[in-house]
Chain A
Amino acid sequence: MSDGTTQSAADSAARGAAGTVGCRTRFAGLAAPGMPAERLGRLAQALGLAPVAEPAGPAALAVLLTGADPGSDADELWLPPVAAWIEPPDGSDAAGLVPLLAEATGNDLYLNLTTATAHDLQLGGRLLAALNARHRLDGDRRDDLELALHEAVSNALVHGNLGVAGMKELSAQELERFSRDLGDRLADPTLAARRIIIALRIDPAEDGPTQNGPTQNDRALATVEVTDEGAGFTPGPRISSGASGRGLDLIGNIAEELEIGNGGRSIRLRFRL
């Protein structure tokens, strides 16, 4: 690919995002643990990015992950300057990655992974580490945010993409059923290939004097959207007398706002940091 088209791929990625939520992250490089250097070089060039062997430096990087790669759970892959984690869709080339990078450009942190990969990565903790590296959190608030992120991600994976029903009765048989369903569905290639998309934006505290003294607005605001490809659900009164059903309540206790959208396939959370 010539330099001219290279540039236009990167530009169109930026423009695609700018049309919706604006450019928040300008990616400079692309890393891909386990990918042969030659292939990474080709992909990076086609996307107008620099191929990067090890994450370093200040400029934002996108990482391509595939579930089978050893080292995709290395801690440094989940810290700055890495700001996007993308599992390339099967058989996709650079053109297939352009729209995903465009989405990433419109966010501060962005993940787009298959269920199979996401299931193995403890994403709640990873996201918390990535967020904490950009906006220091401490103590109880840090624990709470990790739990809320973890619950949103596990709901999307388990109940959304894998369609496993929660444990209703309090019995070992019900735990066994949950365990079996989870194993069976993860082994189903169609369900395991469903995507989870996580987009996180951090907005600074609102400056300026307020009439009523300090308010909540003097703290930065994080907005997280978790989207799955499952059947969705209809939000309704939640029953938490069984073994399942507490996740959304716990999130609701922690987040300032919780909004279910897209027929139950996405959840948007807002947290003051």
Chain B
Amino acid sequence: MDYGIEVRDQEAVVRLRGRLTFNDHAKLRTLIGEMGQNKLKRQVLDLSSLEFVDSAGIGMLLIAREEMDRAAKQFVLRGAAGQVKRVLTVAQIAKIVPMED
């Protein structure tokens, strides 16, 4: 997995690309740190270019959400499609994290 962060007027948009699995722990640690540091209150994770997520990947998304909560930031998942959307739906993640199309 890799990612790019685009800081806009109202929100920071982090676009994830590729596959998010247990092996991406180091990148997620860095990413969570970067999201905490930028000043914007609204952090959007754009999942539209993410091809695959596993259970550990979901866990790491939930950790990111919790850390943003601690930093008093909004955290949103946007644009999940294909396998990613299916897994997030099965795991009922929308009950915990706001999801946008």
Does A171 reach chain B (CB closer than 8 Å)? Answer: yes
A239 within 8 A of B: no
CB-CB under 8 A from A176, the residues of chain B are: 29
Alpha-carbon separation in the docked complex, A43 to B65 (Å): 53
Q: Is B67 an interface residue (CB 8 A)?
A: yes
**Nearest A residue (CB) for B26:** A179
Interface pick from A138-146, A197-205, A227-235: A138-146
Among A152-202, those with CB < 8 Å from B are 154, 158, 166-167, 170-172, 174-176, 178-179, 182
Quick check: is A272 within 8 A (CB to CB) of the other chain? no
Are B86 and A143 in contact (CB-based, < 8 A)? yes
Contact B25 A147 (CB under 8 A): no
The answer to the question of B58 belonging to the interface, with a C-beta cut-off of 8 Å to chain A, is yes
Chain B nearest Cβ from A95, distance in angstroms: 35
| Stretch of A56-64, A82-90, A107-115, A243-251 lying at the B interface | A243-251
In the complex, are the beta carbons of B66 and A147 less than 8 A apart? no
How far apart sit A154 and B55, CA to CA, in the bound complex (Å)? 10
In the assembled complex, which residues on chain B have CB atoms less than 8 Å from the CB atom of A250?
A: 55, 87, 90-91
Q: A140-B86, A151-B55, A243-B62 are contacts. A172–B29 as well, Cβ < 8 Å?
A: yes
A99 to B19, CA, bound (A): 36
- Chain A contacts with B in 231-273, Cβ cutoff 8 A: 240, 242-247, 249-250, 253
Instruction: Tell me if A174 and B58 are in contact (CB < 8 A).
Output: no
Write the nearest CB–CB distance from A9 to chain B, whole angstroms: 38
- The interface residues of chain A, by DSSP majority, are classed as helix
B63 adjacent to A167 (CB under 8 Å)? yes
Asked whether any CB of chain A lies closer than 8 Å to the CB of B28, the reply is yes
Known contacts A150-B54, A247-B54, A250-B55; decide if A175 and B63 are in contact (CB<8 Å). Answer: yes
CB distance from A49 to the nearest CB of B (A): 34
Q: How far apart sit A240 and B28, CA to CA, in the bound complex (Å)?
A: 20
- Closest chain-B Cβ to A70's Cβ sits at a distance in Å of 20
Residues of A in contact with B, size category: 20 to 34
Expressed in whole angstroms, the Cα–Cα distance for A247 and B21 within the complex equals: 12
Known: A146-B52, A246-B91, A250-B90. A154 touches B59 (CB 8 A): no
Which applies to chain B's interface (DSSP): helix, strand, loop or mixed?
helix
On chain B, which size bracket covers the interface? 20 to 34
If A150-B54, A154-B54, A154-B56 touch, whether A174 touches B21 (CB-CB below 8 Å) is no
Point out the residues of chain A lying under 8 angstroms from B23, CB to CB. 119
Shortest C-beta distance, A32 to chain B (Å), equals 26
CA distance A24 to B28 in the complex (A): 43
B51-78: which residues lie under 8 A (CB-CB) from chain A? 52, 54-56, 58-60, 62-63, 65-67
Binding site for A on B (CB under 8 A): 19, 21-23, 25-26, 28-29, 32-33, 52, 54-56, 58-60, 62-63, 65-67, 82-83, 86-87, 90-91
Task: Give the B-binding residues of A (Cβ under 8 A).
Answer: 119, 122, 125, 140, 143-144, 146-147, 150-151, 154, 158, 166-167, 170-172, 174-176, 178-179, 182, 240, 242-247, 249-250, 253
Q: Beyond A154-B56, A243-B63: 14 further Cβ-contacts under 8 Å?
A: A140-B86, A146-B83, A154-B21, A158-B22, A158-B56, A170-B62, A171-B66, A171-B67, A172-B33, A172-B67, A175-B32, A243-B56, A243-B60, A246-B59
